[in-house]
Amino acid sequence: MLVFIVIISNGSCKTQSNIITSKKEAKEKGIYSYSEDGRTKTVKSNRTKSSEKRENEEIVDKDDKGRKLEKRATNSLANKIINDALDNLGVKYRTGGTTKTGMDCSGLVFSTYGNYDISLPRTSIDMSRHGQKIKKNEAQPGDLIFFKTNGRSVINHVGIITEIVNDEIKFIHSSTKRGVIVSSTLDAYYSKTFAQINRVLE
């Protein structure tokens, strides 16, 4: 008599979500730090004094095979814009909103860049026609990332890139269900609906 033994592994193919929904969570994950009075905010980097480069130069860590690991904002203006955007984590979604009482995706981008006298169109589709369209592998923190989430071929969603790790792009945006959060292009939904990236900072 033959006996078959079947071992069942209780695993999951679903990747864990990289969504960050609050400043506290962002701080714990090392992408955002701020003082108790809220005045000092920086996007953290794994830089050491010996590896610091001139401001505005790209800082890239590499693994033992020389592959790029991550890209964080080193341009001082991009860094300030990202921190301002991150300061809105947890703000609820509101159509047409541009303040901490509620904002939509383009409202977050419009108001954040506007704080630095950078004038952008008010809607995501118009923003997608502004600046320079670049390849995905050329993306930098501070660039705008666009999606087509309405099941059609029209851009209707925008976010600000906060960090790049290998092929993963993290971005802050205002989601209709969760408000202002940080999400990842590794999430199946955003991987599927990705449209383009535009550079609006020189």
Confirm whether 13 is a catalytic residue. no
Phi and psi of 117, rounded to 5°? 55, 30
Confirm whether 130 is a catalytic residue. no
Residue in 91, 105, 160, 172 annotated catalytic: 105
C-alpha 188/C-alpha 161 separation (Å) is: 17
User: Who contacts 49 (Cβ-Cβ below 8 Å, separation ≥6)?
Assistant: none
Residue in 23, 71, 80, 157 annotated catalytic: 157
Residue in 23, 72, 148, 173 annotated catalytic: 173
Calculated CA dihedral for residues 9, 14, 20, 26, nearest 10 degrees: 50
Confirm whether 157 is a catalytic residue. yes
Positions marked active-site: 105, 157, 173
